[in-house]
Amino acid sequence: MAGAPRANVLTYHNDNFRTGLNTNETILTPANVNSSTFGKLFTYNVDGYVFAQPLYVSGVVVPGQGIHNLLYVATEHNSVYALEADSNKWFTNGVVWKVNFGPAAITPTNAFGNRYNGGQYTDITNEVGITGTPVIDLGRGTLFVDAFTREASGFIHRLHALNITNGSEQLHSPVVVAASIAGTAVDSVGGIITFSAMQQIQRSALTLAGDTLYIAYSGYADTDPFHGWILGYDETSLQIKPGYVFNTTPNATSAFGPNAAEAGIWMGGGGICVDANTNLYFQTGNGTFTATNGSGGTEYGDSIMRLSTTNGLKVADYFTPWEQATLALNDTDLGSGAPMLVPDLPGTNAHLLVGGGKSGKFYVVNRDQLTSNNTHYNATGNTDAILQTFTNLPGRFMTGPAYFNGAVYYSSWNDKMKSYAISNGVLSKTPTSTGPRTFAFPGCTPVLSASGTNNGIAWSTAFSAPAVLTAYNATNVTAEIYNSAQAAGNRDALANGVKFASPMVANGKVYAGAQFAVSVFGLTNPSLNWKTFHFGNNATNSAIAGDFADPDGDGIVNLLEYALASDPTVASPGNSLSAAVVGGHCQVSFNRNASATDLVYVLEASPDLAAWTTALTYTSASGWVSFGAASATEGPPSALPPDQAVKATVDFGTPPATAQFVRLRIHR
Ligand SMILES: [Ca+2]
pLDDT in tens, 5-53: 689 999 999 999 999 999 999 999 999 999 999 999 999 999 999 999 9
Q: How far is the CA of 569 from the centre of ligand 1 (A)?
A: 7
At residue 85, the pLDDT reads 98
Q: How far is the CA of 543 from the centre of ligand 1 (A)?
A: 12
- Asked if 83 and 104 touch (Cβ cutoff 8 Å), the reply is no
Q: How far is the CA of 589 from the centre of ligand 1 (A)?
A: 20
Per-residue pLDDT tens digits for 102-113: 999 999 999 999
Helix, strand or coil for residue 526?
helix
CB atoms within 10 A of CB 149: 20
Between 626 and 346, the higher pLDDT residue: 626
Q: How far apart are the first and last CA of the chain?
A: 24
Kindly tell me if the per-residue pLDDT of 657 is higher than 90: no
At residue 572, the pLDDT reads 87
Pairing of strands 180-182, 418-423: unpaired
Q: Which CATH architecture has domain 21-524?
A: 8 Propeller (2.140)
Kindly tell me if the per-residue pLDDT of 1 is higher than 50: no
Q: How far is the CA of 564 from the centre of ligand 1 (A)?
A: 11
Q: How far is the CA of 548 from the centre of ligand 1 (A)?
A: 9
The Cα angle at residue 420 between residues 416 and 424, in degrees rounded to 5: 160
For residues 458 and 431, give the distance between their C-alpha atoms in angstroms, rounded to a whole number.
Answer: 15
At residue 476, the pLDDT reads 97
* C-beta pairs of 622-628 under 8 Å, 24+ apart in sequence: 628/653, 628/654
Q: How far is CA 253 from CA 72, 182, 261, 287, 404, in A?
A: 42, 13, 7, 12, 44
Q: How far is the CA of 559 from the centre of ligand 1 (A)?
A: 9
Q: How far is the CA of 575 from the centre of ligand 1 (A)?
A: 10
Q: How far is the CA of 556 from the centre of ligand 1 (A)?
A: 4
For residues 545 and 528, give the distance between their C-alpha atoms in angstroms, rounded to a whole number.
Answer: 9
Q: How far is the CA of 536 from the centre of ligand 1 (A)?
A: 16
- Asked if 509 and 9 touch (Cβ cutoff 8 Å), the reply is no
> CA nearest 633: which of 641, 624, 622, 643?
624
Region 527-531 average pLDDT: 97
Q: How far is the CA of 47 from the centre of ligand 1 (A)?
A: 45
Torsion angle, alpha carbons of 409, 411, 412, 416, to 10: 150
* Of 117-121, 348-352, 403-407, minimum mean pLDDT range: 348-352
Q: How far is the CA of 189 from the centre of ligand 1 (A)?
A: 74
* Of 168-182, 330-344, 496-510, 570-584, minimum mean pLDDT range: 570-584
Q: How far is the CA of 89 from the centre of ligand 1 (A)?
A: 28
Ligand 1 (single-atom ion) residues, CB below 5 Å: 550, 552, 554, 556
DSSP structural state of residue 579? E
Region 618-629 average pLDDT: 96
Kindly tell me if the per-residue pLDDT of 2 is higher than 50: no
Q: Where residue 4 falls among pLDDT bands split at 50, 70, 90?
A: low
Q: How far is the CA of 643 from the centre of ligand 1 (A)?
A: 14
At residue 5, the pLDDT reads 66
Pairing of strands 362-366, 623-626: unpaired
Q: How far is the CA of 570 from the centre of ligand 1 (A)?
A: 7
Q: Which CATH architecture has domain 563-667?
A: Sandwich (2.60)
Q: How far is the CA of 550 from the centre of ligand 1 (A)?
A: 4
At residue 623, the pLDDT reads 97
For residues 105 and 329, give the distance between their C-alpha atoms in angstroms, rounded to a whole number.
Answer: 30
- Asked if 290 and 325 touch (Cβ cutoff 8 Å), the reply is no
Q: How far is the CA of 25 from the centre of ligand 1 (A)?
A: 24
Q: How far is the CA of 440 from the centre of ligand 1 (A)?
A: 50
Mean pLDDT of the chain: 96
Per-residue pLDDT tens digits for 266-295: 999 999 999 999 999 999 999 999 999 989
Kindly tell me if the per-residue pLDDT of 344 is higher than 90: yes
Q: How far is the CA of 485 from the centre of ligand 1 (A)?
A: 39
CB-based burial label for 347 (10 Å; 0-12, 13-18, 19+): exposed
Q: How far is the CA of 546 from the centre of ligand 1 (A)?
A: 11
Q: Where residue 545 falls among pLDDT bands split at 50, 70, 90?
A: very high
Strands (E) across 320-401 are located at 340-342, 352-356, 362-366, 388-390
Q: In the chain, what are the domain boundaries?
A: 21-524, 563-667
The Cα angle at residue 404 between residues 398 and 406, in degrees rounded to 5: 105
Q: Where residue 659 falls among pLDDT bands split at 50, 70, 90?
A: confident
Q: How far is the CA of 554 from the centre of ligand 1 (A)?
A: 5
